[in-house]
A and B are shown apart, each in its own frame.
Chain A
Amino acid sequence: MRKGQWLAFDATLALCAALVLSVVLMHNAASHPSTGGDLALERAGYDLVNAFYMDPALGQRVAAALKVRGYMNETEMGDVNATLGRYAQQLGVKRVEMQVGGGQAVVAGASMLPATEKATFYATITLNGGAENRLVRLALWK
């Protein structure tokens, strides 16, 4: 090889090295750890908690069931599931889960799809004028 060709070869190698360096640095910058939360899920959570109180088919339905027999039967769970599924669709989330007092859980939405982000919210069911209070966990997956 002539000296000129060696120089061209050197230059090409150096450029390749610079490109590799750039790609590595850019990749490091791009793969910065995530924020640990998702604002869209937060907004959806706010709306779902609000709907839990405002929509008679959710909070009031669950409260009525708990007041009468202390748990939800199959029909009530099916109705709540359908309502939650509708909200999951409207809010643009893959899955919504509602659990009353660490007991019965209702899962709605496409549970087969892989869900990435999750946000958990809490509401309360007030029974007997506040003498009994149950914590309701509402979880959303994106």
Chain B
Amino acid sequence: MKKGFFGMLVIVIVIVGIMTFNYAQTKSAVNDANADAVAHEIRADRIAVLRNVILQSHRNVTQQNELAWGIFVQGELAPSYGLDAYIDYSKAPAKVVILDEREGMRSEFYLVN
């Protein structure tokens, strides 16, 4: 009877250990998934902020300075956010494409004053 009790105790402890380990693994996987989701959301937010900055600053740009402003946006502003921006002046109104190569996200909009 005593031996049987001891054997049961060992089995219970082993089972509790396995369950705890599995729980910890699951929790870790959930944390990983949450971290990924938050990171994606932050990158998407950055695209939205950059889009807002481009549209707001474009309001003060005159037609003859479009190119200088465009070079600044593509060469300085967008890289500051870790993003790529391309302005297509062949269309009217000009079309802006913001690219996030890392996350594979993209935003397109037109420069309408």
Chain A residues proximal to chain B, CB less than 8 Å: 3-4, 7, 10-11, 14-15, 17-18, 21-22, 25-26, 28-30, 32-37, 39, 42-43, 45-46, 49-50, 53, 121-126, 128-131, 133, 135, 137
Known interface pairs A7-B6, A39-B38. Does A133 touch B72 (Cβ–Cβ under 8 Å)?
A: yes
B interface, by DSSP: helix, strand, loop or mixed?
A: helix
What is the minimal beta-carbon distance from A28 to any residue of chain B, in angstroms? 6
Given contacts A45-B49, A123-B53, contact A32 B61 (CB under 8 A): no
Q: Chain B residue with minimal CB distance to A10?
A: B6
The answer to whether B31 touches A124, judged by C-beta atoms less than 8 angstroms apart, is no
Given contacts A124-B72, A124-B77, 17 further A-B contacts (CB under 8 A): A3-B2, A25-B24, A26-B20, A29-B24, A43-B45, A46-B49, A50-B56, A53-B53, A53-B56, A123-B56, A124-B57, A124-B73, A126-B60, A126-B69, A130-B60, A133-B76, A135-B77
B90 at interface (Cβ–Cβ under 8 A)?
Answer: no
B49 adjacent to A129 (CB under 8 Å): no
Task: Check if B105 is an interface residue, CB within 8 A of chain A.
Answer: no
CA distance A15 to B31 in the complex (A): 28
The reply to whether B9 and A126 form a contact with Cβ atoms under 8 Å apart is no
The answer for the CA separation of A123 and B56 in the assembled complex, in Å, is: 9
A-B contact pairs, 28 of them (CB 8 A): A4-B2, A7-B6, A14-B9, A18-B16, A18-B17, A21-B20, A22-B16, A25-B24, A26-B20, A30-B27, A32-B28, A32-B31, A36-B39, A39-B45, A45-B45, A45-B49, A46-B52, A49-B52, A122-B53, A124-B53, A124-B57, A126-B60, A126-B61, A130-B60, A130-B62, A130-B69, A133-B72, A137-B80
A-B contact count (CB 8 A): 120
Q: Tell me how far the C-beta of B81 lies from the nearest C-beta in chain A, rounded to whole angstroms.
A: 6
Complex Cα–Cα for A82 and B81 (A): 27
Q: Which residue numbers of B lie inside 8 Å of A, CB to CB?
A: 2, 5-6, 9-10, 13, 16-17, 20-21, 23-24, 27-28, 31-32, 34-35, 38-39, 41-42, 45-46, 48-49, 52-53, 56-57, 60-62, 64-66, 68-69, 72-73, 76-77, 80-81
Which B-chain residue is minimally distant from A46 (CB atoms)? B49
Residues B45 and A42 in contact, CB atoms below 8 Å apart: yes
